[in-house]
Amino acid sequence: MEIQLTKAEEQFMQVLWDLEEASVQDIIDQLPEPKPAYNTVSTIIRILENKDFVSHKAKGRGYIYFPLVSKTIYSNQSLQKIVDGYFGGSFKSMVSFFVNKNEVDLKELDTILKIINDKKTQR
């Protein structure tokens, strides 16, 4: 999967990932003000279906939509694209960038190191 979503598509996917399944109205209800028009949401959901991110099942006279792509898979692909595009494919360079820009405090860094060490001992 190499498809990037637009900001609006990602916003709707976030709602579907959180709710696991939803009608167009359910999605609208979760969005911040100003709420988009029903037809706008419906159109973007159909675009997401065409991109194979979403599918639907009939419910009464309408549809219930659900994600076909997990948030984890999409997040991993998006993060890899950032690492490749901005940091030459080096995760180390990305981490170094955030540490040098003081975007990561020492407590967070300790937590990250603990996760890494735990992962090492699992292998």
**Over the stretch 20-29, which tens digit does the pLDDT of each residue have?**
999 999 999 9
Q: What is the mean pLDDT of residues 53-68?
A: 96
Same domain, 59 and 84: yes
Same domain, 19 and 7: yes
pLDDT, residue 19, reads 98
CATH of the domain at 64: 1.10.10.10
Same domain, 52 and 14: yes
Same domain, 81 and 103: no
Strand partners, 22: 65
Alpha carbon distance 123, 120 (integer Å): 6
Residue-wise pLDDT for 5-40, tens only, equals: 999 999 999 999 999 999 999 999 999 999 999 999
Residue-wise pLDDT for 81-116, tens only, equals: 889 999 999 988 888 888 888 677 778 888 888 888
Tokens 């997040």, residue located: 75
- The structure's pTM equals 0.77
Same domain, 23 and 77: yes
Same domain, 84 and 96: no
Residue type (1 letter), 114? K
Range of the domain at 100: 90-123
